[in-house]
Amino acid sequence: MKLLEEKILKDGKAIGSEIVKVDNFLNHQLDVKIMDEMGKEIARLFAGRGVNKILTVEASGIAIACAAAMHMDCVPVVFAKKAAPSTMNEEFLAAEARSFTKGTVSLLRVAKKYIAPKDVILIVDDFLATGEASLALVDIAHQGGAKVAGFTAAIEKQWQGGAEKLRAQGVDVQSLAVIREIRDGQIEFA
């Protein structure tokens, strides 16, 4: 997605050879105009697949997932939680995920009632890096008996191998901006 690549080059920042900092439009301050454009592109990429639900994980995936849902007949968005609130007292599906940027392991949880065998689920996240969170979401969808229509991230860090792991599980991965590598502080797209 050309617009997103341009935005990353303009407003993003490479830190070392591993981190792309996009907190000024994607994961701390949010640019809702570009979110909307990303949502439109996600709807185009996964049109005709019968998607009836979008699954993401708190917090940074929520804005993109909602933008996509607005362009996909307002299908419901479900976000996995990293901590269980006291109001989450029913059965839930869960899978572990390590956060690349936080260095922590979270148990991602989704109330069981929100994933059903009839569901055709699109998984949406802000980043695809090593794929830990994404694989956990696929696992949760499968635990609920749902079909996974595909996965999309705003930004894929190709060299970290997440897309490969997802594809090995039969998941169709279509990220909006795929970064091949960061070389000498320069972001290079695939």
Q: Which residues lie near its own copies (CB under 8 A)? A: 15, 19, 21, 23-24, 28-33, 35-36, 58-59, 62-63, 65-67, 69-70, 74, 76-79, 81, 83, 85-88, 99, 101-104, 110-111, 114
Provide, rounded to whole angstroms, the least separation between the CB of residue 104 and its own copies: 8
Provide, rounded to whole angstroms, the least separation between the CB of residue 25 and its own copies: 8
Structure tokens, 100:
């690349």
Q: Which is nearer to its own copies, 99 or 160 (CB)?
A: 99
Give the C-alpha separation, 88 to 167, whole Å.
Answer: 32
Give the C-alpha separation, 78 to 171, whole Å.
Answer: 19
Provide, rounded to whole angstroms, the least separation between the CB of residue 36 and its own copies: 7
In this structure, are residues 113 and 90 in contact, taking their beta carbons and an 8 Å threshold?
Answer: yes
Q: Which is nearer to its own copies, 17 or 29 (CB)?
A: 29
What sign for the dihedral angle of Cα 78, 177, 164, 48?
A: positive
In DSSP notation, 47-65 reads TTS---EEEEETTTHHHHH
Q: Which is nearer to its own copies, 21 or 147 (CB)?
A: 21
Q: Which is nearer to its own copies, 94 or 169 (CB)?
A: 94
In this structure, are residues 128 and 155 in contact, taking their beta carbons and an 8 Å threshold?
Answer: yes
Q: Which is nearer to its own copies, 77 or 149 (CB)?
A: 77
Provide, rounded to whole angstroms, the least separation between the CB of residue 42 and its own copies: 13
Q: Which is nearer to its own copies, 87 or 186 (CB)?
A: 87
Provide, rounded to whole angstroms, the least separation between the CB of residue 70 and its own copies: 5
Provide, rounded to whole angstroms, the least separation between the CB of residue 84 and its own copies: 8
In this structure, are residues 75 and 54 in contact, taking their beta carbons and an 8 Å threshold?
Answer: yes
In this structure, are residues 58 and 78 in contact, taking their beta carbons and an 8 Å threshold?
Answer: no
Give the C-alpha separation, 138 to 63, whole Å.
Answer: 19
